[in-house]
């Protein structure tokens, strides 16, 4: 079993432990497309591997050798790993480090979290610029799709066109769609409406069950299934009939999503609080716990 990890919103976020088996893992991304995702905040610009990031008079804290590679240990310290990217003895690692500046995986059965010094300098020494939250989310999800596409089966959902709690939420790309088609659909999403988090989690569960107008993406009894909720706020103030994401996450994790396959085909729920404007983190954190997944806070693209 090989473990793939990604850098999501600049923070370490493990997709549970996504195993690549005979049947690839199914992962549905649930993107908050509410009106507040159109607000602008200071974020890091996109990383460009062709740019050498260095200290400035106003940001003097860059201290990593630009071309070197560092391994992050269990307490978050970056230790020297190799003098350059090409010295890393893994072709996939070299390719991803060269483009994105980071790579997580195993080399000779040793789990590593590798970062190029230039990427670490970018995080520490780049001035933030005003960008909409949804544009940053799209950029990071695009990187995720490009990195994981072909290794797992990805899909994408968003809130319905008006962000209401009564209308069904929207499957933008079905699980298993090509990376190019997911990115095209992602870029067409606009921000607007409310934040029906419980409803989109419920509808993702119906999708996995094959009860949402699409065939189930579940192909075998050994196939891992999960959703990633990316949201910038609580579902409040919703109507009295609004569904609670914590309850819906528990349903996905404990209920069987296949009537034909042996065993429990459940859905793991991960949550990301991105540039969070809600009243607290307890709701999304509890939803992830109820869903058997991971909660991550990402107030800035550098986290």
* Interval 213-269: pLDDT, tens: 999 999 999 889 999 999 987 766 677 788 999 999 999 999 999 999 999 999 999
pTM exceeding the 0.85 threshold for the entire prediction: yes
pLDDT of residue 278: 63
Burial of 286 (0-12, 13-18, 19+ CB in 10 A): middle
Q: What is the band of 173 on the pLDDT scale with cuts at 50, 70, 90?
A: very high
pLDDT of residue 17: 38
Residue closest to 196 by CA, chosen among 252, 238, 157, 137: 238
| Average confidence score pLDDT of the chain | 86
Residue closest to 198 by CA, chosen among 155, 231, 149: 231
Spatial strand order in the sheet of 102-107: 78-82, 69-72, 110-116, 102-107
CA 48, 50, 51 angle in degrees (round to 5)?
A: 70
Do 168 and 212 touch, CB atoms closer than 8 A?
yes
Distance CA(89)–CA(96), nearest Å, equals 13
CB contact set of 303 (below 8 Å; sequence gap of 6+): 9, 10, 11, 297
pLDDT of residue 59: 61
Give the tens place of pLDDT for each residue, 99-153.
999 888 889 989 898 999 999 999 888 888 999 999 999 998 998 898 887 788 9
Give the tens place of pLDDT for each residue, 34-70.
999 999 998 889 999 999 998 665 565 678 999 999 9
């Amino acid at each position: 079993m090989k473990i793939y990890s990604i850098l999501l919103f600049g923070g370490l976020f493990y997709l549970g432990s996504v195993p690549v088996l005979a049947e690839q893992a199914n992962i549905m991304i649930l993107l908050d497309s509410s009106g507040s995702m159109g607000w602008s905040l200071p974020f890091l610009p996109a990383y460009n591997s062709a740019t050498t990031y260095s200290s400035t008079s106003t940001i003097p804290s860059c201290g990593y050798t630009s071309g070197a590679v560092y391994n992050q240990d269990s307490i978050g310290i970056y230790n020297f790993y190799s003098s350059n990217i090409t010295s890393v003895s893994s072709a996939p690692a070299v390719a991803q480090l060269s483009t994105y500046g980071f790579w997580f995986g195993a080399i000779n059965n040793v789990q590593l979290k590798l970062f190029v010094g230039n990427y670490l300098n970018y995080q520490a020494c780049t001035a933030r610029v005003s960008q909409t939250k949804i544009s940053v989310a799209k950029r990071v999800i695009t990187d995720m799709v490009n990195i994981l596409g072909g290794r797992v089966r990805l899909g994408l959902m968003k809130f319905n066109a008006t962000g209401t709690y009564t209308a069904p939420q929207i499957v933008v790309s079905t699980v298993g769609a090509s990376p190019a088609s997911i990115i095209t659909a992602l870029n067409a999403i606009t921000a607007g409406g409310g934040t029906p988090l419980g409803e989109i989690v419920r509808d993702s569960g119906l999708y996995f069950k094959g009860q949402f107008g699409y065939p189930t993406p579940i192909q075998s009894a050994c196939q891992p299934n999960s959703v990633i909720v990316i949201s910038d706020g609580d579902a409040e103030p919703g109507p009295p009939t609004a569904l609670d994401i914590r309850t819906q996450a528990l349903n996905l994790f404990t209920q069987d999503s296949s009537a034909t396959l042996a065993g429990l085909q459940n859905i793991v729920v991960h949550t990301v609080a991105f540039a969070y404007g809600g009243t607290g983190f307890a709701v999304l954190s509890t939803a992830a716990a109820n869903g058997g997944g991971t909660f991550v806070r990402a107030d800035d693209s550098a986290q």
